[in-house]
A and B are shown apart, each in its own frame.
Chain A
């Protein structure tokens, strides 16, 4: 491999993969979340069960043939089960799926995500985004949700224009009171650091900085006040092995460029 350092997408994929444990299930969106799950499977979590919303359980994604949508054969390669789409999500509603793994266009301090529309009028948006797809279901119904996203000020906003996918809603017990019986947004992995949420207030809290990142830089790139960590940690940078493995999975650099 080259001695080149990681691109922002590579950093996200590697940091994301480290969040996943062996012998668990992960409901992953296509793109960087799925890439991170495949990386985890190739390294420390060989028995990780991936679930993909096209109706796919337990696939073995072929390196170099990464799916570009959740409904295509590359995503379904060597799956253990191909249930109907609705039934796939019902496994999550029944409480079987451990981790939800998704990205998001806009995120607020409570981990609410907007992937629907930018602007004040939903019916006539300044920018129409792709929409929920399965994101709302994944964040509502998986037991622990990990969000992977690029850390930019325009994404980290005081209040999202539209709650496509509910994080901790307005904090406190508002999520539980909305009727969501279980599940929580556990972590946000960004290109700058790793964040958790305060158990009481439901607000985002810094947990760790990626190497070379300062808390000032975080504040600069975040449209709201992030709670300070109890003890600030610094993440291990992506290793040469991790990057080599990742680049072998996506040799065309379709997702990691």
Chain B
């Protein structure tokens, strides 16, 4: 498959009714994940899984959030104005979890168990809005919070290198990607580089996602841009600033304009990169090298 075609296809099918402010509780692991991404695209997932989306410019049915960065690109730009509009009007319920709790939800799913016990969130109001259950530990008698497994329908991850079988290696911080890949029913990976199998086999300890977890692989150098890819290019903070300034000035109209220009506009991923220009990409690459040298 070519990277160009894949990047043009929207992989998010419209979420089913997930409007309940009560949380989806632990769901069973899918009995068998789809063989490939396209099965999901033609509709009808064969299992009930909770759908998790980060903020979308149109109207997401529900937002599950734990990370402040998902609400804002970074500290200097404040909380996302679009997100605030959606949530403060009551149009979109924002279900909030602590960062660790969400991480453990993905980990529980990655482990194939319905929940994991933790101490975090205990005593806080996050317990109630998320409907998190507690139990008395059968060994110690202490109270434990039980966070339910979260199985995304689709995970889209970007990695540094992969072989043609989808064995993926990540440099720098691994974030939650390994757990998310294991938890998701369908895993789409974009990679900076597709390397020969033998090259990957020389550093097997760097492989964090095995090929049998991955449904589709797309070569996409600078595929995380304008965000960063550790060691390869730094996030384009100037661009973030321009984006936020446009939102502040023109509200959600600026989101549509942005999508038209950067997402729907370019006919191919190469055309997308041309919007930035080689000089700018080279500058960001140099800034990244400075930080890891």
Contact = CB atoms under 8 A, between A and B. Distances in A.
Interface in A39-88: 53-56, 62, 65, 68-74, 76-77, 82-86
A203 to B, nearest CB: 17
Interface residues of B, number: 62
Given A54-B175, A137-B120, A163-B124, A131 B66 contact: yes
Given A85-B99, A131-B68, A181-B142, A68 B237 contact: yes
A62 B287 CA distance: 13
Interface in B110-126: 118-126
B66 A86 contact: no
B12 to A, nearest CB: 22
A85 to B, nearest CB: 5
B235 interface: yes
A140 B119 contact: yes
B125 A164 contact: yes
Chain A: interface secondary structure? loop
Interface in A169-194: 169, 174-175, 178-181
A131 B65 contact: yes
A15 interface: no
Contacts of B173: 54-56, 71, 76, 82, 84-85
Given A56-B173, A127-B88, A254 B100 contact: no
B75 A174 contact: no
B88 A126 contact: yes
A38 to B, nearest CB: 15
Interface string A126-139: 11111111111100
Contact of B100 (A76, A125, A127, A137): A137
Contacts of B288: 73
Interface string A85-111: 110011001000000000000000000
A72 B230 CA distance: 8
B204 interface: no
Given A53-B99, A179-B145, A72 B235 contact: yes
Nearest to B174: A84
B220 interface: no
A202 interface: no
A130 B118 CA distance: 23
A124 interface: yes
A169 B224 CA distance: 41
B89 to A, nearest CB: 8
A178 B99 contact: no
Contacts of A129: 79
A165 interface: yes
A72 B235 CA distance: 8
A93 B230 contact: no
A135 B176 CA distance: 18
10 contacts: A68-B76, A70-B68, A82-B172, A84-B173, A84-B178, A85-B103, A86-B176, A124-B88, A133-B99, A134-B99
